[in-house]
Amino acid sequence: MNKSWWKILGVVLVVYALTAGLNVYNAPVFEVPRLNILNETIRNLYFHVSMWFSMMILFIISVVHAVRYLRTSDLRFDILSRQYAAVGMVFGVLGYSTGAIWASYTWADPNSPAAASFGAIAREPKLIGAAIALLIYAAYLVLRDSIPDIDKKARISAVYNIFAFAFLFPSIWVVPRLLESLHPGGQGNPALNPKDVDARMRLVFYPAVIGWTLLGVWIATLKVRLQRLKQKALLGEPIDTLLQQPTTQPQ
């Protein structure tokens, strides 16, 4: 129980966010402000934005482990870096998908042809930047699978991970704010200042970020354990013993 409290907390917070976001029981405590155009779709804040924040946190954990691998040459950090990046990608795709659904209800012009609305939305700077960032991380996963040597794979992947993370913030946060954007907070104004989010929504939004992040960490730890079991089966020896040994440079 002492080691599982954060998992239980993550599940409780995710269920809380789902309950508040869907509000299937029409509970007054989960009411949201009735804003023009947004209306009930503003509840997607608990999913779309929260998942993006979770993605960023998971990518930060991934790049930290990449740096730790380069400093120690310990393959345990390489496994951690890879799995946190993979789970971060999943949350990124989910965040992108929920954002696309949200845009179809709020940005699309019902009086214009679908192609025209799609063309306007497709030019949105944050969508382009987010797509590029996700493609860069997808290339990271492809790169790893294309290198057979374990040590070489780990070193190149760690360096690539650092460069991918360095490009992540400009493509999602910096460049889109320099351009005209449909997103709130465009042209230099932060989108999550106290005036942008209703106080009632903050009571759900911040727990949702924590819940989705804890869920992502839980999934990543399960993937790490699975990867270690696979390596143990392939190598025929305990993986923990193997990974504690420092790696050597190929001759």
Please determine, for residue 197, whether its predicted confidence score (pLDDT) is greater than 90: no
Residue 69's Cβ-count burial label (10 Å; 0-12, 13-18, 19+) is buried
Please determine, for residue 205, whether its predicted confidence score (pLDDT) is greater than 60: yes
Please determine, for residue 192, whether its predicted confidence score (pLDDT) is greater than 60: no
Model confidence band, residue 224 (pLDDT cutoffs 50, 70, 90): very high
Please determine, for residue 35, whether its predicted confidence score (pLDDT) is greater than 90: no
Comparison of pLDDT for 25 and 43, the residue scoring more: 43
Secondary structure (DSSP) of 34-95:
--TTTGGGGGGGGTHHHHHHHHHHHHHHHHHHHHHHHHH--HHHHHHHHHHHHHHHHHHHHH
φ/ψ region of 58 (left if φ > 0, alpha if ψ in -120 to 50, else beta) reads: alpha
Comparison of pLDDT for 23 and 177, the residue scoring more: 23
> How much is the pLDDT for 176?
67
Q: 3-state class of 106 per DSSP?
A: helix
Please determine, for residue 187, whether its predicted confidence score (pLDDT) is greater than 80: no
Alpha helix (H) ranges present in the chain? 5-22, 48-72, 75-106, 114-122, 125-145, 150-169, 175-178, 199-235, 239-243
Q: Which amino acid, residue 116?
A: A
Q: 3-state class of 236 per DSSP?
A: coil
Please report, for the chain, the start and end positions of each structural domain, with discontinuous segments joined by +.
51-185+212-242
Please determine, for residue 248, whether its predicted confidence score (pLDDT) is greater than 50: no
Please determine, for residue 206, whether its predicted confidence score (pLDDT) is greater than 70: yes
pLDDT average, residue stretch 101-125: 65
pTM over 0.85: no
Please determine, for residue 196, whether its predicted confidence score (pLDDT) is greater than 90: no
CA 133/CA 129 separation, integer angstroms: 6
pLDDT average, residue stretch 16-21: 90
